[in-house]
């Protein structure tokens, strides 16, 4: 089967609703299907990457664990919206996964250059 | 290589709108569907959109449903569902902001 | 041109399933191919045959069903998203030992791989979001 480059833009925080979880499920499946998947964390989705999440008490799966496993599923193109990390006072050291920090112009070009762009 | 962006929330969802606007490149098109049709009735939003080198579209069904046809401040193109399909063909991909 | 549609908006709490329906009808009328419609997230409730809206409101389950039957469309409902929300077909009801089922053809429960495949096959994948 042919391969397409897929950019998945995440914009929602974990746990409050299912959007982030369903987007990650989609990313893992697309990668398993041999697609060239890039993940861009924007807005509240940056909170997905925070270390030391402990969602057991709210009866949810730890989404940070899924994120830290992304490279094992051949998803190693991880991008982080620079503006968001600054606004939220989140530094690279606080994240469970290393990523490339990108600004708005770079994001616009990423959207242009991928075959398929899905934003959740 | 151009993108048709669709957005479906009114400009009250400022975060969504700012993200969408930041992603627009010259030659792209922006189609305001569902509650995003309200944007065309807000002069400040439409003035901001003029700074971008893009075509702006509204769906007539959404405009009419919301009673906006007499309130549009814009030179946005009002199109029907068939033309939405045509736009999707003319641009190399469709990105949805919701 | 080959299209696929991804619907992510709520079946009963957003306009997106209706907007997607109008888009599907229009692209078919223009002679394009609709390879697949994929229901994900809250849109999976569209597949429930037990929805009984008031007579003066549209029955979105029926609208998609009729369109699919007329054009032999592939309506795929994300199985994980559906099962956890109680949208279940006969085979899954038996497997999970549930007392009833509420969806059937042309709606088909299947995995997210069907969406990936649609993204590869199609010239355009158009999302209708929440």
What CATH number is attached to the domain comprising B45? 3.40.1260.10
Q: Which of C30, C53, A44 is nearest to C17 (CA)?
A: C53
Q: Look at chain B and report how many structural domains it folds into.
A: 1
Write the CATH number for A114. 3.40.1260.10
Q: How far apart are CA C102 and CA A43, in angstroms?
A: 37
Structure ipTM? 0.97
Helices and strands: H and E segment counts in chain B: 4, 5
The residues of C annotated as belonging to the active site are 78
Range(s) of the domain holding residue A103: 5-119
> Is the per-residue pLDDT at A84 higher than 90?
no
Contacts of B82 in chain C (CB under 8 A): 26, 29-30
Could you report the per-residue pLDDT of B75-94, keeping only the tens digit for each?
789 999 999 999 999 999 99
Interior/surface letters A50-83, b for 16+ CB within 10 angstroms, e for the rest: beebeeeeeeeeebbebbeebeeeebebbbbbeb
Mean pLDDT of B16-25: 98
> Is the per-residue pLDDT at B40 higher than 90?
yes
> Is the per-residue pLDDT at B49 higher than 80?
yes
For residue B29, the SS3 value is: strand
Range(s) of the domain holding residue B29: 3-97
Burial class (CB within 10 angstroms; exposed 0-12, middle 13-18, buried 19+) of A3: exposed
> Is the per-residue pLDDT at A1 higher than 70?
no
* Confidence (pLDDT) at A19: 97
Q: How far apart are CA C129 and CA C16, in angstroms?
A: 6
* Confidence (pLDDT) at A2: 75
Residues of chain C whose C-beta is under 8 A from some C-beta in B? 1, 3, 8-9, 15-16, 19, 22-23, 25-27, 29-30, 32, 124-130
Find the range with the poorest average confidence among A89-98, A104-113, C35-44.
A89-98
DSSP result, A60-93: ---HHHHHHTGGGGT--EEEEEHHHHHHTT--GG
Q: Is the peptide bond before C106 cis (omega within 30 degrees of 0)?
A: yes
User: Nearest CB to C119: which of A6, A18, A119?
Assistant: A6
Could you report the per-residue pLDDT of C35-60, keeping only the tens digit for each?
999 999 999 999 999 999 999 999 99
Q: How far apart are CA B40 and CA A104, in angstroms?
A: 24
Structure tokens at C24: 């599907």
| Domain C2-128 grouped into CATH 2.60.40.1930 | no
Q: Do B93 and A116 lie within an 8 Å CB cutoff?
A: yes
Q: Do B23 and A11 lie within an 8 Å CB cutoff?
A: no
Q: What is the dihedral sign for C-alpha A109, B20, A29, B92?
A: negative
Strand order through the sheet with C124-128? C107-110, C75-78, C33-39, C2-7, C124-128
Q: Give the mean pLDDT of chain A.
A: 95
Q: A8 and A23 in contact (C-beta within 8 Å)?
A: yes
> Is the per-residue pLDDT at C114 higher than 80?
yes
Q: Look at chain A and report how many structural domains it folds into.
A: 1
Residue B96: which pLDDT band, with cuts at 50, 70 and 90?
very high
Could you report the per-residue pLDDT of C54-79, keeping only the tens digit for each?
999 999 999 999 999 999 999 999 99
Q: DSSP label at B26?
A: T
Give percent above pLDDT 70 in chain C.
100
Domain boundaries defined on chain C: 2-128
Mean pLDDT of B39-50: 94
Burial class (CB within 10 angstroms; exposed 0-12, middle 13-18, buried 19+) of B62: buried
């Amino acid at each position: 089967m042919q391969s397409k480059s897929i950019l998945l833009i995440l914009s929602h925080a974990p746990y409050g609703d299912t959007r982030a979880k369903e987007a990650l499920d989609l990313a893992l499946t697309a990668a398993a299907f041999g697609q060239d998947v890039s993940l861009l964390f924007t807005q509240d989705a940056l909170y997905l990457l925070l270390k030391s999440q402990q969602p057991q008490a709210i009866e949810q799966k730890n989404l940070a664990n899924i994120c830290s496993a992304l490279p094992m599923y051949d998803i190693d193109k991880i991008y982080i919206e620079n503006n968001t990390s600054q606004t939220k006072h989140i530094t690279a050291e606080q994240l469970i996964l290393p990523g490339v920090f990108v600004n708005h112009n770079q994001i616009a070009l990423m959207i242009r250059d991928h075959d398929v762009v899905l934003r959740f | 290589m151009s993108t048709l962006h669709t957005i479906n929330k009114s400009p009250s969802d400022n975060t969504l709108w700012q993200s969408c606007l930041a992603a627009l490149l010259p030659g792209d098109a922006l189609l305001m569907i569902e509650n995003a049709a309200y944007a065309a009735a807000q002069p400040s939003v439409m003035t901001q959109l003029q700074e971008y080198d893009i075509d702006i579209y509204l769906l007539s069904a959404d405009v009419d449903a919301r009673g906006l046809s007499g309130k549009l401040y814009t030179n946005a193109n009002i199109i029907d569902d068939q033309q939405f399909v045509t736009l999707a063909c003319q641009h190399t991909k469709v990105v949805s902001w919701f | 041109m080959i299209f696929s549609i991804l619907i992510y908006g709520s079946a009963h709490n957003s306009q997106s399933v209706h907007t997607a329906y109008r888009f599907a009808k229009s692209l078919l009328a223009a002679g394009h191919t609709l390879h697949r419609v994929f229901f994900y997230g809250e849109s999976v409730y569209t597949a429930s045959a037990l929805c009984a809206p008031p007579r003066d409101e549209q029955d979105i389950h029926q609208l998609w069903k009729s369109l699919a039957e007329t054009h032999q469309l592939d309506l795929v409902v994300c199985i994980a998203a559906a099962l956890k929300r109680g949208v279940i077909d006969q085979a899954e009801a038996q497997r999970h030992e549930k007392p009833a089922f509420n969806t059937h053809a042309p709606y088909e429960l299947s995995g997210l791989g069907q969406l990936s495949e649609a993204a590869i096959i199609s010239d355009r994948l158009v999302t209708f979001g929440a």
